[in-house]
Amino acid sequence: MLYQGDNNMSMQDNYVTEMESLLRDLAIKIWETPELGLKEKKSSALLAETCLKEGFEVKRGIAGMETAFVARWGEGKPVIAFLAEYDALPGMSQKVSLAQEALEEGTPGHGCGHNLLGVGALGAAFALKRSLENTGTAGTVCYFGCPAEETITAKGYMVRDGYFDDVDAVFDWHPADINTVNMKTTLACDSVEFIFKGRSAHAAGNPEWGRSALKAVELMNAGVNYMREHTIEDVRIHYVITDGGQEPNVVPARAAVWYYIRSPRRSQVDELSRRIFLCAEGAATMTETELEIKVTDKCYNMLPNKTLSRIAHEEFEATGVPAVLPDEEKYIEGLRATLTKEQLEETFRYNKMPLDYPNLMHKEILPLEEDGEVSPGSTDAGDVSWKAPLAHVRVACKPVGVPGHSWQAVSAFGSELGMQGMLTAAKVLSRAGWRLIENPVLVSEAKAELENSLIKEPFKLALTPDLQPPVT
Ligand SMILES: [Zn+2]
């Protein structure tokens, strides 16, 4: 196994090492200032301003979102892009600690590690830019500031509005508990809010005058839950009631329910949404309420590009897995001790690792799969992968088995484990970008592979021109 530093340093590794203190500083600042999707004003400003200082041309507030931006440097082909995310999760505030303790109760926290994600991608973009600049080579580096990944919002709108039109290749990464280049696809998804409007009345005095919007929500959900049996196994449908009325003694005149509707293929989601809309309409009819349907986001499943994934995998092997410093071992053991045997076994099984895997941090890079399975989540990077060839790298930034969106994850992503993973990601992604600069034929191969896929299943924008990001 290869640790960082054991290998032959590439030009890109040196640039990442050169800017290490800048990257650490940014990742910690964003971790300490967790902001929810579309409200990431400080985090996006920090990254956009850092790009400006590096000499990138920066366009902020793109695709109808104040916290979205694109930074470009260089001229000519190929155009190589890196994706940044920086949104946090509600109620996940957490210290770097071995016990669950909030930094500030009830506030957001970086449970998905997007503090590392955005900065790692920035390190990759800067290292590639410095390589082009110092060797006088043609090529363009793009760094996309993509807000609100957690609600699968931004990238679809950025694709729809043409920001990826001239992009030739995309390298993306995510903090994880394992080291791998992900060939798994994701679920396509619709995010839809159903708002019912009825008539209020005294719930005890004159219930016959009331028409309950909450009853409409309940009936709609009952309909969808009966429908669930008649869908394919990979389908995921879940909801939260965002408005259920105010007090029991008032018949609710307004109620709302927010759905995620997911399936492996975009066309399956379209069909499921059609059926769920019928449930909503049926509920409105039964309760004599009015129905408003607000589609906020739609995304495609991920289409991993084999050519780019192979390159990313080779560069990951050459870079080595993140270093684990000796004084981190106590912390790693402590975090691992908070996990159950079942959690660990599930992780090993899912990643096809031996069930008695001995290491607390993942110390290998998983072999590249030929064709990935469906992973039961969704990401708006899916839309990007249908527009330009994309490879997705996952780097260990927390002990094996630590689940995403957990307090242990927030803790690890603010710790040295997160920083080491982020630095590795910056190196792997910038090396992969440089491989394309040096071998333009690989760009053509990656694009031909995507074009082949699009012949079998064409890419049709899921987000129609009338839809707008849910900015409030
Ligand atoms: Zn994430």
192 backbone dihedrals φ, ψ, rounded to 5°: -135, 135
Residue 184 has pLDDT above 70, yes or no: yes
- Given a cut of 90, whether residue 472 has pLDDT beyond it is no
Task: Tell me what percent of the residues of the chain surpass a pLDDT of 90.
Answer: 92
How confident is the prediction for the chain on average, in pLDDT?
Answer: 95
182 CA → ligand 1 middle, Å: 14
Residue pair 256/195 in contact (Cβ under 8 Å)? The answer is: yes
In angstroms, the CA 385 to CA 378 distance is: 13
**Closest CA relative to residue 467, chosen from 64, 148, 149, 194:** 64
Distance 49 CA to ligand 1 centre (A): 23
User: Which pLDDT does position 311 carry in this prediction?
Assistant: 98
Evaluate whether 128 touches 432 at the Cβ level (below 8 Å): no
Residue 242 CA to ligand 1 center (angstroms) comes to 23
- Residue range 21-44: mean pLDDT, rounded: 97
Q: What pLDDT shows up at residue 393?
A: 98
CA of 333 to the centre of ligand 1 (A): 24
| CB of 124 closer than 8 Å to CB of 425 | yes
Q: pLDDT confidence of 1, banded at 50, 70, 90?
A: very low
Instruction: Using the mean position of ligand 1's atoms as its centre, give its distance from the Cα of residue 245 in Å.
Output: 32
Residue among 216, 204, 293 at smallest CA distance from 253: 216
CA 177 to centroid of ligand 1, rounded, Å: 13
Q: How far is CA 22 from CA 16, 76, 317, in A?
A: 10, 28, 25
CA 428 to chain centre: 19
Q: How confident is the model at residue 434 (pLDDT cuts 50, 70, 90)?
A: very high
Distances (CA, A) of 115 to 91, 376, 388, 458: 16, 23, 25, 34
The stretches of 136-208 forming alpha helices (DSSP H) are 154-160
CA of 112 to the centre of ligand 1 (A): 4
Q: How confident is the model at residue 114 (pLDDT cuts 50, 70, 90)?
A: very high
CA-wise closest residue to 109 among 393, 404, 435:
404
Looking at residue 54, what is its pLDDT? 98
User: How many A from CA of 89 to the centre of ligand 1?
Assistant: 10
How many angstroms separate the alpha carbon of residue 75 from the centre of ligand 1? 31
Ligand 1 geometric centre to CA of 162 (Å): 24
Q: What residue spans of 146-194 are helical by DSSP H?
A: 154-160
First to last CA, the chain: 49
Per-residue pLDDT, 396 = 98
- The pLDDT value recorded for residue 200 is 97
The CB-based long-range contact list for 312-316 (8 Å cut-off, 24+ gap) reads 312/171, 312/181, 312/391, 312/393, 312/428, 312/429, 312/432, 313/181, 313/365, 313/368, 314/435, 315/428, 315/431, 315/432, 315/435, 316/179, 316/181, 316/365, 316/393, 316/428
Place of tokens 């090529």: 139
C-alpha 139 – ligand 1 centre gap (Å): 29
> Which run of H or E residues covers position 173?
strand 169-176
Share of residues in the chain with pLDDT > 70 (%): 98
Residue 176 to residue 374: CA distance in whole angstroms = 17
Q: What is the 110 CA–ligand 1 centroid distance (Å)?
A: 9
Answer whether residue 22 shows pLDDT above 70: yes
Residue-wise pLDDT tens digits, 395-430 = 999 999 999 999 999 999 999 999 999 999 999 999
| Distance of CA 195 from the midpoint of ligand 1 (Å) | 28
Q: How far is CA 262 from CA 25, 149, 199, in A?
A: 37, 16, 33
Centroid of ligand 1 to alpha carbon of 87 (angstroms)? 9
Ligand 1 centre to CA of 175 (Å) is 8
* Residue 255 vs residue 296, higher pLDDT: 255
C-alpha of residue 213 to centroid of ligand 1, in Å: 34
Confidence of residue 447 (pLDDT cuts 50, 70, 90): very high
Q: Which two tokens stand for residue 200?
A: 């209020």
> What pLDDT does residue 6 have?
46
Pick from 163, 154, 148, 144: nearest CA to 56: 144
The pLDDT, as a whole number, for residue 5 is: 46
How far, in Å, from the CA of 173 to the mean position of ligand 1? 9
Please name which of 189, 160, 469 lies closest in space to residue 301, comparing C-alpha atoms. Answer: 189
Q: Provide the residue count of the chain.
A: 472
Residue ranges of alpha helices (H) inside 324-406 are: 329-336, 341-350, 381-387
For residue 172, report the distance from its CA to the centre of ligand 1, in Å.
Answer: 11
Average pLDDT over residues 144-148: 97
Kindly give the distance from the C-alpha atom of residue 150 to the centroid of ligand 1, in angstroms, as a whole number.
Answer: 7
Is the pLDDT assigned to residue 303 strictly greater than 70? yes
Query: Residue 307, Cα to own-chain centre: how many angstroms?
Result: 22
Lateral strand order in the sheet of 254-263:
236-243, 254-263, 188-197, 290-299
Rounded Cα distance between 309 and 443, Å, is 12
What's the token pair of residue 13?
Answer: 């590794």
Domains located in the chain, CATH noted: 11-185+301-456 (3.40.630.10), 188-299 (3.30.70.360)
Average pLDDT over residues 105-131: 98
b/e code 162-171 from CB counts within 10 Å (16+ = b): ebbeebbbbb
Q: Are 4 and 322 in contact (CB under 8 A)?
A: yes
Q: How far is the CA of 66 from the centre of ligand 1 (A)?
A: 20
Q: State residue 152's pLDDT score.
A: 85
Question: Which conformational region is residue 139 in: left (phi greater than 0), alpha (psi within -120 to 50 degrees), or beta?
Answer: left
Give the three-class secondary structure for 430: helix
Cα 31 to ligand 1 centroid, rounded to whole Å: 14
Mean pLDDT of 220-239: 97
What is the whole-number distance in angstroms between the Cα of residue 149 and the centre of ligand 1?
7
How far, in Å, from the CA of 211 to the mean position of ligand 1? Answer: 41
pLDDT at 3 over 60: no
State how far the Cα of 204 lies from the Cα of 169, in Å rounded to an integer: 63
Residue where the block lists tokens 């059609």: 274
Phi, psi of 423 (to 5 degrees): -65, -40
Q: Please give the distance, rounded to the nearest whole angstrom, from the Cα atom of residue 193 to the centre of ligand 1.
A: 22
More confident residue, 220 or 376: 220
User: 127 CA distance to ligand 1 centroid (A)?
Assistant: 23
User: What is the whole-number distance in angstroms between the Cα of residue 209 and the centre of ligand 1?
Assistant: 47
- Give residue 8's pLDDT band: very low, low, confident or very high (50, 70, 90): low
SS3 82: strand
Q: What is the CA(128)–ligand 1 centre distance, in A? A: 24
How close is the Cα of 412 to the center of ligand 1, in Å?
14
DSSP H or E segment with residue 42? helix 41-53
Whether the predicted pLDDT of 9 surpasses 90? no
Q: How far is the CA of 421 from the centre of ligand 1 (A)?
A: 15
For residue 452, what pLDDT band results from cuts at 50, 70 and 90? very high
